[in-house]
Amino acid sequence: MQKIHIVSNRLPFSVKEEGENTTLEASVGGLATGMKSIYKDYGGTWIGWTGLDSDTLDADKQKKVDQLFKQEKCASVHLNSEEIQLFYEGFSNRTIWPLFHYFTQYADFNNEDWETYKAVNQKFADATIDTLEDGDSVWIHDYQLLLVPEMIKSKKPNVTIGFFLHIPFPSYEVFRILPWRKEIIQGMLGADLIGFHTYDYERHFFSCVRRLFGYEISFNQIHIDERIIIADSFPMGIDYEKFKKSAQDVGMKSIKEKSELHKELDKYFLASPNRKLILSIDRLDYTKGIPNRLKAFGRFLEKYPEFRKKVTLIMLAVPSRDQVDHYQQLKKEVDELVGQINGTYGSINYAPIWYFYRSLPFSNLIELYSSCDVALITPVRDGMNLVAKEYVASRLNNTGVLILSEMAGVAKEMGEALIINPVDEEEMADSINQALTMPLEEQKERIKYMKERIQRYDVFKWAKEFIRTLKKAESVQNDFLAK
């Protein structure tokens, strides 16, 4: 049978240490959910980094970790502390991430980081090549591994390669800033199918290919000598049924079974029936537009004083990349803004913002999605944004309002949301007012349409559709060679 292997920066498990005991804990992220069905059904291997610093592991420990991953059909790639610093925190998160999200002023261009990025991409490619047989397919994920497609193709031309980018692909005027722009495009062009979340990212990619190399492009196919490469958009979905079912379970819980958080939410609403909750959930990342969102919420409380003491913003920020300076500065800015707004509009029994700087268990997330009247999702740039889809999927009776940034890939599929410009604080403040005063019938109408779309094109459909197009890319190539 033809196998399909998955390659991503991180494997879908984290290593957990409890005393002498080492175990693996499954990741619940969107990618892990979508890919698990694919790599199991097609008998492949998942190749990726363990998440550990190999300098801290002795030979026995490394062997043990490799064995645990092997039992799960995963092949581990080991990174030492220098590689983690220069490849992961450096080129991936200090160069590609800011540049591709249009934060050009945050992007570092450091030759040592680039050299390590190349060497680590080669490590991933070599680990993949070791597990491959002719006729197999490989699906490579995301911006940490942009060079891997070409590295595999040059050694294994008979393997069909798919690549999916989970972040935006920027316009040529931004992409051209990168000193290694040609190498990056060449790396990606090793794939037979290149996938993006939206048509805009695909269009930007084509324009870079055309302007940097002058290759012929017809419809969505790039022609390079004897090769045909397809690029297309595949908007990633969520496990819709899981969110729906979990929201139903939350609704059935007796008081005894409820979590502390849930009880607090009940108390909040009981205190006054007119109270409303707004939800904001992201990794603490400068692309997510958190300071603008907070300022807009402050402006809302200033402009619409009738909502003071009646509306609370629950803001969850998951700690992320806290070794990178820009993330440390952002944390400081967010802490100060929350303090300022709570200081200005709060009272003994009212805090305008409840701020959690931590990751929450899945069950708490569902409780929040089910309880909050408004979801405020306002990134300044975001490849897709799955939180918006998770919120809609969890609204059992179709009430609730989604306020969404036009800069998130997901906005392309969610025309019924209140779409805003994430740096326009005045517009955002007015949208919060509009959301809180929207008639129930209108809320239901809007959520219903979005829900239908999310249900139809869930994460499993997304993965299947990508694989189907990958097979098509293979036959288009074979037909071309046979002519």
Determine, following the binding rule CB under 6 A, whether residue 467 of this chain makes contact with ligand ADQ: no
Query: Closest approach of Cβ 158 to ligand ADQ, in Å?
Result: 29
Q: d(Cα 174, Cα 102) in Å, to the nearest integer?
A: 7
Nearest of 443, 285, 282, 463 to residue 374 by alpha carbon: 443
Q: Catalytic: which of 53, 126, 166, 373?
A: 166
Please enumerate in sequence order all residues whose Cβ is within 8 A of that of 242, keeping only pairs 6 or more positions apart, or say none.
33
Report which residue type is found at 89: E
Determine, following the binding rule CB under 6 A, whether residue 26 of this chain makes contact with ligand ADQ: no
| Nearest to ligand ADQ of 237, 352 (CB atom) | 237
Q: Which of 129, 212, 318, 423 binds ligand ADQ (CB under 6 A)?
A: 318
Determine, following the binding rule CB under 6 A, whether residue 236 of this chain makes contact with ligand ADQ: yes
Question: Residue with structure tokens 């497609």?
Answer: 149
Determine, following the binding rule CB under 6 A, whether residue 365 of this chain makes contact with ligand ADQ: yes
Burial class (CB in 10 A: 0-12, 13-18, 19+), 452: exposed
Determine, following the binding rule CB under 6 A, whether residue 458 of this chain makes contact with ligand ADQ: no
Query: Closest approach of Cβ 360 to ligand ADQ, in Å?
Result: 4
Determine, following the binding rule CB under 6 A, whether residue 390 of this chain makes contact with ligand ADQ: yes
Query: Closest approach of Cβ 317 to ligand ADQ, in Å?
Result: 7
Q: d(Cα 193, Cα 231) in Å, to the nearest integer?
A: 6
Burial class (CB in 10 A: 0-12, 13-18, 19+), 51: middle
| Nearest to ligand ADQ of 269, 362 (CB atom) | 362
Nearest of 101, 100, 113 to residue 188 by alpha carbon: 100
Both tokens of residue 195?
Answer: 């996938």
* Per-residue binding letters, 137-166, with ligand ADQ (x by CB under 6 A): -----------------------------x
Query: Closest approach of Cβ 327 to ligand ADQ, in Å?
Result: 13
Stretches 12-20, 76-84, 297-305, 379-387: which one binds ligand ADQ (CB under 6 A)? 379-387
Please enumerate in sequence order all residues whose Cβ is within 8 A of that of 74, keeping only pairs 6 or more positions apart, or say none.
11, 12, 13, 45, 46, 47, 48
| Nearest to ligand ADQ of 316, 402 (CB atom) | 316
Question: Residue with structure tokens 């288009």?
Answer: 476
Contact 188, 163 (CB under 8 A): yes
| Nearest to ligand ADQ of 128, 280 (CB atom) | 280
> What does the CA dihedral 207, 208, 212, 213 come to, rounded to 10 degrees?
-70
Contact 401, 441 (CB under 8 A): no
| Nearest to ligand ADQ of 248, 347 (CB atom) | 248
| Nearest to ligand ADQ of 77, 375 (CB atom) | 375
Nearest of 465, 12, 33, 10 to residue 243 by alpha carbon: 33
Contact 105, 71 (CB under 8 A): no
Site for ligand ADQ in 325-364 (CB under 6 A): 359-360
Site for ligand ADQ in 282-301 (CB under 6 A): 283
Stretches 34-42, 70-78, 177-185, 383-391: which one binds ligand ADQ (CB under 6 A)? 383-391
Query: Closest approach of Cβ 260 to ligand ADQ, in Å?
Result: 16
Query: Closest approach of Cβ 407 to ligand ADQ, in Å?
Result: 11
DSSP for 36-78 reads HHHHHHTT--EEEEEEEEGGG--HHHHHHHHHHHHHTTEEEEE
Determine, following the binding rule CB under 6 A, whether residue 30 of this chain makes contact with ligand ADQ: yes
Determine, following the binding rule CB under 6 A, whether residue 35 of this chain makes contact with ligand ADQ: no
Active-site residue 166, yes or no?
Answer: yes
DSSP strand pairing (46-53 vs 74-79): parallel
Q: Catalytic: which of 136, 192, 285, 382?
A: 382
Determine, following the binding rule CB under 6 A, whether residue 375 of this chain makes contact with ligand ADQ: no
Determine, following the binding rule CB under 6 A, whether residue 281 of this chain makes contact with ligand ADQ: yes
Active-site residue 101, yes or no?
Answer: no
Please enumerate in sequence order all residues whose Cβ is within 8 A of that of 160, keeping only pairs 6 or more positions apart, or say none.
136, 137, 138, 192, 193, 470, 471, 473, 474, 477
Query: Closest approach of Cβ 443 to ligand ADQ, in Å?
Result: 22
Q: Which of 12, 48, 383, 400 binds ligand ADQ (CB under 6 A)?
A: 383
| Nearest to ligand ADQ of 35, 384 (CB atom) | 384
| Nearest to ligand ADQ of 366, 428 (CB atom) | 366
Site for ligand ADQ in 165-184 (CB under 6 A): 166-167
Q: d(Cα 319, Cα 321) in Å, to the nearest integer?
A: 7
For the chain, helix, strand, coil in percent to 5 are 55, 20, 25
> Which chain residues interact with ligand ADQ by CB under 6 A?
30, 166-167, 236, 281, 283, 316, 318, 359-360, 365, 382-387, 390
Active site (catalytic) residues: 166, 382
